[in-house]
Amino acid sequence: MTDKAGMADSFRGRDFLSLNDYKEGEIYHILDLAAELKDQLNNNIPHPLLKGKTLGMIFQKSSTRTRISFEVGMYQLGGYPLFLSSRDLQLGRGETIGDTGKVFSRYLDGIMIRTYDHDEVVELAEAADIPVINGLTDLLHPCQALADLMTIREYKGGLKGVKLAYLGDGNNMAHSLMIAGAKMGMHIALGCPQGYEPSDEISEKARTAAKLSGAEIQVYNDPHLAVEDAHVIYTDVWASMGQEEEAKERAEIFKNYQVNSTLVKGAAGDAMIMHCLPAHRGWEISGDVIDGPKSVVFHQAENRLHAQKAVMALLMSD
């Protein structure tokens, strides 16, 4: 058995709830396969690695990129994606997430879930006998972070030593970037308003991982300190789903954290701009920056497809 085959065997049947559950070498293996699948797609080479497999997709939160990328990705892998909103399931009438996982295990080969409470995803994974993929929770967004690593690697030629500055709310995206960067030996600097820093639990996990990889994790309240000499500047919406009523209040609190041309000047000359989308021009990012030559946001969005295909292929293949 080759090392590559042995690595592939180590993924089969596992869950993908957090990048913290994966070693640096395993994450590189996912990224390598994602790059290979992307190249095959661009050269019209079929890759039906999941022929005959079915993925159930539970959506408690609405979605554009997550739904489309998983549906199209599963189709390109030769499998069948099944979209299930909360209105389509008995979850909306009180069936437990655990019972749902046990039933789904009798019908499906994998589950992707996009929901609010991270504990629901953990409970689903504990109950299910098939792989569960976290498509987003209020705590973590590992699929997006994986696509981000893929994008940074493509543009910067590697990950170790790259400085990524994240500006805004210490939310699920900030959490996942901290863990991803810590695993891969990056320098992650967050600029967050006081009271909106990342959770202590995630910060501790990231710093523990950073000790093994040589990564640096820093959290500032000053956005200019965070972006100093950064190779990547990243931002996200100021009010996530479920926080719409706080939007005006947050706009005032976060106004000095907008990624604009003035702020970008403090970063490295070749700094690239990233945003996980959807973007609100004039709020967390200015229109000239997100639509400017340094922006890679749509390339980043495309890589959701390739990165998630790699995850599905590794977890769900025979």
Clarify whether 87 is annotated catalytic.
Answer: no
- Of the listed 65, 109, 192, 276, which one is catalytic? 276
Mean pLDDT taken over the chain: 95
Q: Tell me the whole-structure pTM to 2 decimals.
A: 0.96
Beta bridge partner(s), residue 84: 58
pLDDT at 103: 95
pLDDT(86) > 80: no
**pLDDT exceeds cutoff 90 at 115:** yes
Q: What is the pLDDT of residues 6-53, one digit of tens each?
A: 777 899 999 999 999 999 999 999 999 999 999 999 999 999 999 999
Cis peptide leading into residue 278 (ω within 30°):
yes
- 116-120 average pLDDT score: 95
Please tell me the distance from the alpha carbon of residue 265 to that of residue 279, in angstroms, as a whole number: 21
Q: Note the pLDDT of residue 253.
A: 96
Percent of the chain at pLDDT > 90 equals 89
Candidates 144, 258, 300, 308; catalytic one: 144
User: Catalytic residue at 218?
Assistant: no
141 is catalytic: yes
Active site residue 236: yes
Lowest mean pLDDT among 76-90, 98-112, 133-147, 286-300: 76-90
| Catalytic-labelled residue, pool 175, 304, 306, 308 | 304
Clarify whether 60 is annotated catalytic: no
302/38 Cα distance (integer angstroms):
10
Walk me through the domains of the chain, giving residue ranges and CATH numbers.
Answer: 3-140+303-316 (3.40.50.1370), 143-300 (3.40.50.1370)
Burial of 29-61, coded b for 16+ CB within 10 Å and e otherwise, reads bbbebbbebbeebeeeeebebbeebbbbbbbbb
Q: Residue 110: what are its φ and ψ, rounded to 5°?
A: -170, 160
Q: Is residue 144 among the annotated active site residues?
A: yes
Residue 197 pLDDT more than 60? Answer: yes
Better-scored residue on pLDDT, 98 or 4: 98
Catalytic residue, candidates 114, 231, 275, 306 = 114
Question: pLDDT, tens digit, for every residue of 282-316?
Answer: 999 999 999 999 999 999 999 999 999 999 999 99
Amino acid identity of 34?
A: A
* Catalytic-role residue among 15, 109, 148, 236: 236
pLDDT tens track for 234-291: 999 998 766 777 888 999 999 999 999 999 999 999 999 999 999 999 999 999 999 9
